[in-house]
Structures are given as structure tokens and as C-alpha cells.
């Protein structure tokens, strides 16, 4: 039987297996697996990284215990996720920019201006984009946070 064991990872990150065990903190679930026969001879414990079993010597100790129980340990690394920079938000045309600036400089909240800009441009606009395009929305933002 394939048994997935994860430590301090979201459930979605568990490798495919027949049973799943998830742990955090002092690894009580791992201790139960080892002492209360949560695994049987011939089982395969699947982890995302050997560090899920413990740090350094503790991981090697758990691997020896599992090997003594005739349980194999398999490492199934996370599938490559597309990582990288956030998509660049292109500066909209002058007419759209004027509409967004009107909302940004109005009495409306900055979040409302961000939401408006996202709808109007169809891009993932953030508060930082508005700051870069128009500067500070209000006088208090120009002064910055008080440190006193």
C-alpha cells in the first residue's frame, strides 16, 4: 500500500497514494505511524522530500526504522509549477488612464480605484501600478506614514 506522509504542507501538496497522513509541530502522526503500526511490511511511504521525515539525523533515524520494518521510502518531488515574474501590467491609453485617475483622485477608496482599473483594463492592476502612474492619491500619502 502506498502511504503519503507530509509535514507542514497543504493537503493539496500530498503525493498520490492510497492513504494520507499530514503532520505539523512535533510530528505526532509520524510517531503514531512508527509505533502503532500505521505501516506494514511491504508498504511504501511516499514523501515530497526526505526532510518531511525530520531534519538531518532524525530523518535518517526514521528511514532506518522504516527499513527495519520492511517499509520502503519513496521521494516524489513536487511537480514543476510555473514560477516567475508576475505579468506586466501595460499602461492603458490616455482616455482610459484619465477615467482611472478620476476615480483614483476622488473621495473613493484606493481599493475602489484598483477594482475600477482592473475592470476597465482587464489586467491585474495593483495599488502600486496606480501609484506609479499617478503618484499619491491624497496629501497624507505624499507625507508617508508617521513614525512618531
The string of pLDDT tens digits covering residues 55-100 is 899 999 999 999 999 999 999 887 766 666 777 888 999 999 999 9
Count of alpha carbons within 13 Å of 99, Cβ hemisphere only?
A: 11
pTM (2 d.p.): 0.53
* Secondary structure element (H or E) that encloses residue 4, with its range: strand 2-7
**What are the pLDDT digits (tens) for 20-56?**
888 888 888 888 888 877 888 999 999 988 998 988 9
Which helix (H) or strand (E) segment holds residue 72: the answer is: strand 72-75
Amino acid at each position: 500500500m502506498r502511504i503519503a506522509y507530509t509535514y507542514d504542507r497543504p493537503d493539496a501538496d500530498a503525493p498520490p497514494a492510497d492513504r494520507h497522513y499530514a503532520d505539523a509541530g512535533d510530528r505526532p502522526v509520524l510517531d503514531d505511524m512508527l509505533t502503532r503500526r500505521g505501516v506494514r511490511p511491504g508498504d511504501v511511504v511516499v514523501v515530497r522530500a526526505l526532510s518531511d521525515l525530520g531534519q538531518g539525523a532524525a530523518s535518517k533515524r526514521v528511514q532506518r526504522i522504516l527499513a527495519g520494518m520492511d517499509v520502503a521510502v519513496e521521494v516524489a518531488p513536487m511537480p514543476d509549477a510555473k514560477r516567475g515574474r508576475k505579468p506586466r501590467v501595460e499602461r492603458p491609453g490616455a482616455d482610459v488612464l484619465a477615467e482611472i485617475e478620476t476615480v483614483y483622485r476622488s473621495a473613493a477608496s484606493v481599493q475602489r480605484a484598483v477594482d475600477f482599473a482592473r475592470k476597465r483594463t482587464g489586467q491585474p492592476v495593483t495599488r502600486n501600478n496606480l501609484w506609479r502612474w499617478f503618484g499619491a492619491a491624497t496629501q497624507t500619502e505624499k507625507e508617508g506614514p508617521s513614525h512618531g
